[in-house]
């Protein structure tokens, strides 16, 4: 029988005892040569050396003191979730989440009181305390186990268990890349689900079969795939089903879509990670218009700093995929998005834009349209036209009133006609002179 080697949870190569790599609990790459496995392990371990969350904590005196006091009482504290993942990806992270083991909730509360630290308990059953220390918002949570009691995402029996163990505690995390833990005192990495290897390979993979207990995890998988430009593991996709997402609330779906748009430079991956039968549940228009997602990506690539980025991106999505009113309302109730959808001209109008009509087209919405035009045209005249338009000093209502023209039914019509003449090249002075 051919030998294979994998990277175990201690970060070192070991011989695979499974019948085949596909059936091994250590997901990801397997090697037929020990030295190749060692080389790969070294590359992963090199990443570990770059993780310096502990260094950050040492610079936070109040938090560092609290963790020391907890340690003195026998507690073990670990960085968990996004902050560990993002450190491995060399990305900035605003999520400072710490999980507390081996100490009761009551003893933890006493420690907070002894050190004059105020922390708000967010839901008794979840065991999450929110505190602000050294100018940072910090989540201090206890490990918990969850048991499904019904079909809704709220139908779970939650048990706080500070002594459940690291592997069991990490199983409630959706994906392996978010289940990596780091000891706050020693810097030791605990990777019970081979998340480091999945980070290196660019894979979104579920931690356990409990994945199917909440259908939102399907959209979360797509959101992370879009956010990091990762692939969803085949065995995770096998768990996807339209039945799991059909009863999801509008708000929960919308939030995952917003995250994909706001945190990704290629949000089309969010949709393209999902098969047609899944998209038909909440985004049926995308199924027939996947090619239109390129406009969403193009806007995302160049306009992340736009103050209305998220709302305009959603409006582009719904407008250009020709989403129905029912579909739009299914996933958003934001007034600004709905307003922008109505303001964006049909895609066919953009395709007809040329050097002769571009100024008139811009004038339809001088704030919105110039931000959208670069999506459709690369010609130099587009930018030149925008610059030219911005230099036009348009005739105003005040100008007409000063010329003695009374407001009334024909007033607005006249103003529009005169502004159109300016778009054709006539100057403001010339037009007003001849009134």
Mean pLDDT of the chain: 88
- pLDDT, tens only, 226-254: 999 999 999 999 999 999 999 999 899 99
- Collapsing DSSP to helix, strand or coil, 175 comes out as strand
Give the whole-number percent of the chain exceeding pLDDT 70: 92
Helix and strand element counts for the chain (H, E): 25, 13
Mean pLDDT of 103-121: 93
Confidence of residue 2 (pLDDT cuts 50, 70, 90): confident
d(CA 323, CA 321): 6
d(CA 85, CA 63): 21
Q: Indicate if the pLDDT at residue 49 is higher than 60.
A: no
First-to-final CA distance of the chain: 95
More confident residue, 279 or 305: 279
Confidence of residue 45 (pLDDT cuts 50, 70, 90): low
- Range of 265-274, 359-368, 380-389 with top mean pLDDT: 265-274
Q: How big is the CA angle at 96 (ends 115 and 93), to the nearest 5 degrees?
A: 150
Mean pLDDT of 124-139: 86
Q: What is the CATH number of domain 51-208?
A: 3.30.460.10
Q: How far is CA 45 from CA 50, 60, 249, 276, in A?
A: 9, 26, 41, 39
- pLDDT, tens only, 247-262: 999 899 999 999 999 9
Q: Which two tokens stand for residue 63?
A: 């938090």
- Collapsing DSSP to helix, strand or coil, 156 comes out as strand
Confidence of residue 434 (pLDDT cuts 50, 70, 90): confident
Neighbours of 221 (CB within 10 A): 27
Lowest mean pLDDT among 39-48, 57-66, 68-77, 416-425: 39-48
Confidence of residue 435 (pLDDT cuts 50, 70, 90): confident
Q: Which two tokens stand for residue 274?
A: 């999902």
Residue 368: predicted pLDDT: 93
Mean pLDDT of 310-316: 94
Instruction: Report CA 98 to chain centroid distance, whole Å.
Output: 21
DSSP-assigned beta bridge partners for residue 13 = 7
Beta strands in 48-171 (DSSP E): 76-79, 97-101, 119-122, 128-133, 136-141, 144-148, 156-160
Residue 150: predicted pLDDT: 52
Question: What burial class does residue 344 get, using C-beta atoms within 10 Å of its C-beta: 0-12 exposed, 13-18 middle, 19+ buried?
Answer: buried
- The residue whose two tokens read 């060399």 is 90
d(CA 106, CA 162): 11
Q: Which two tokens stand for residue 205?
A: 């993979």
Neighbours of 182 (CB within 10 A): 23
Mean pLDDT of 255-276: 94
Largest Cα–Cα separation, the chain: 98
Mean pLDDT of 122-138: 85
CB-CB contact of 390 with 363 (8 Å): no
> How do the domains of the chain map onto residue ranges?
5-50, 51-208, 215-344, 356-433
């Amino acid at each position: 029988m051919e030998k294979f080697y994998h990277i175990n949870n201690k970060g070192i190569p070991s011989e695979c005892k499974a019948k085949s790599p596909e059936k091994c609990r250590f997901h990801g790459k397997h090697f037929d040569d020990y030295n190749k496995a060692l080389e790969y392990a070294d590359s992963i371990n090199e990443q570990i050396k770059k993780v310096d969350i502990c260094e950050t904590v040492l610079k936070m005196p109040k938090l560092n003191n609290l963790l020391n006091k907890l340690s003195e009482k026998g507690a073990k504290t670990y960085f968990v979730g996004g902050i560990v993942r993002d450190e491995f990806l060399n990305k900035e992270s605003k999520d400072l989440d710490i999980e507390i083991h081996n100490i009761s909730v009551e003893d933890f509360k006493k420690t907070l009181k002894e050190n004059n630290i105020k922390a708000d308990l967010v839901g008794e059953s979840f065991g999450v305390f929110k505190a602000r220390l050294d100018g940072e918002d910090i989540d201090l949570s206890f490990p918990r186990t969850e048991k499904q009691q019904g079909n809704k995402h709220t139908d779970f029996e939650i048990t706080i268990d500070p002594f459940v163990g690291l592997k069991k505690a990490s199983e409630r995390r959706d994906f392996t890349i978010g289940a990596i833990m780091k000891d706050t005192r020693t810097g030791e990495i605990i990777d019970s689900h081979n998340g480091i290897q999945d980070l290196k390979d660019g894979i979104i993979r579920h931690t356990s079969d409990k994945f199917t207990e909440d259908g939102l995890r399907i959209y979360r998988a797509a959101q992370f795939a879009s956010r990091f430009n990762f692939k969803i593991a085949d065995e995770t996709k096998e768990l996807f089903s339209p039945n799991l997402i059909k009863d999801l609330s509008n708000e929960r779906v919308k939030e995952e879509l917003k995250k994909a748009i706001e945190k990704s430079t290629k949000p089309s991956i969010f949709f393209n990670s999902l098969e047609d039968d899944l998209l038909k549940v909440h985004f049926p228009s995308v199924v027939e218009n996947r090619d239109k997602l390129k406009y969403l990506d193009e806007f995302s690539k160049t306009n992340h700093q736009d103050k209305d980025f998220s709302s305009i991106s959603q409006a582009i999505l719904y407008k250009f995929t020709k989403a129905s009113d029912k579909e739009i309302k299914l996933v958003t109730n934001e007034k600004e998005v709905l307003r922008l959808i109505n303001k964006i001209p049909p895609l066919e109008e953009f395709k007809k834009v040329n050097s002769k009509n571009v100024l008139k087209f811009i004038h339809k919405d001088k704030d919105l349209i110039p931000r959208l035009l670069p999506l459709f045209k690369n010609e130099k005249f587009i930018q030149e036209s925008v610059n030219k338009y911005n230099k036009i000093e348009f005739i105003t209502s005040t100008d007409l009133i000063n010329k003695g023209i009374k407001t009334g039914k024909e007033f607005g019509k006249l103003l529009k006609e005169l502004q159109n003449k300016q778009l054709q090249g006539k100057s403001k002075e010339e037009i007003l002179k001849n009134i």
